[in-house]
């Protein structure tokens, strides 16, 4: 399985999962960075807004430090933007953000990626805000086999 195809399938799965939770954001979109989402958020789009970003893949190693075949860990971030001018207090914003992040986590935790591996929750943290928009990131990973296009040992 090639990583580009696998990443695209995983991205679609996360979009589907994030579109099902109760505290539904106005829109779920694929983005390339936090600043990409912030640019969209500051253009009058209804919030909360959820961006899903593919962060890349890395070779997965076994517990003993030995490499396990061609297995990769694919990492994705859910970036949630909130309009802070609507929320009167910082504590209110934090409470709203935590409720939405809980919903996202509960929706994804225990589900399987298209490769059949479980999604693993890695991190949840605030990101750099911009003007009247606050941002929180939730990072997830899953495992995927990486296979060459041509058989190993074959010639061109």
**Is position 68 within any domain?**
yes
Assess if residue 103 is contained within a domain: yes
Do the domain assignments include residue 154? Answer: no
pLDDT at 140: 92
Distance from C-alpha of 52 to C-alpha of 49, rounded to nearest angstrom: 10
Helix pair angle (3-18, 90-108), 10° resolution:
120
Residue 152 lies in a domain: no
**Is 115 contained in some domain?**
yes
- For the chain, 156 residues long, the average pLDDT of each consecutive 10-residue run is 68 71 61 84 78 85 62 88 66 73 86 89 86 86 77 53
The count of structural domains within the chain is: 1
Residue 122: predicted pLDDT:
95
Note whether residue 156 is domain-resident: no
Range of the domain at 92: 3-145
pLDDT in the model for residue 86:
55
The pLDDT of residue 121: 94
Domain membership flag for residue 150: no
Is 76 within a domain?
yes
pTM of the model: 0.76
CATH number assigned to the domain comprising residue 70 = 3.30.2000.10
| Predicted local confidence at residue 67, as pLDDT | 56
| pLDDT value of position 12 | 75
SS in 3 state form for 64-120? CCCEEEEEEEEEEEEEEEEECCCCCCHHHHHHHHHHHHHHHHHHHCCCECCCCCECE
Token digits for 99? Answer: 């409720």
Q: What is the pLDDT of residue 124?
A: 92
């Amino acid at each position: 399985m090639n990583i580009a195809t696998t990443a695209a399938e995983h991205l679609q799965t996360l979009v589907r999962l994030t579109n099902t939770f109760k505290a539904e954001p106005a829109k779920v979109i694929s983005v390339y960075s936090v600043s990409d989402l912030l640019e969209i958020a500051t253009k009058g789009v209804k919030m909360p807004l959820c961006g899903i970003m593919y962060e890349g893949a890395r070779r997965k190693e076994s517990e003993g430090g030995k490499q396990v075949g061609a297995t990769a860990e694919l990492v994705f971030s859910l970036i949630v933007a909130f309009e802070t001018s609507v929320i009167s207090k910082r504590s209110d914003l934090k409470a709203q953000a935590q409720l939405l992040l809980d919903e996202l986590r509960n929706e994804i935790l225990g589900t399987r990626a298209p490769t059949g591996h479980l999604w693993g929750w890695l991190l949840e943290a605030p990101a750099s805000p911009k003007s009247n928009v606050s941002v929180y990131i939730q990072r997830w990973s899953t495992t995927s086999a990486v296979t060459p296009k041509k058989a190993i040992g074959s010639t061109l």
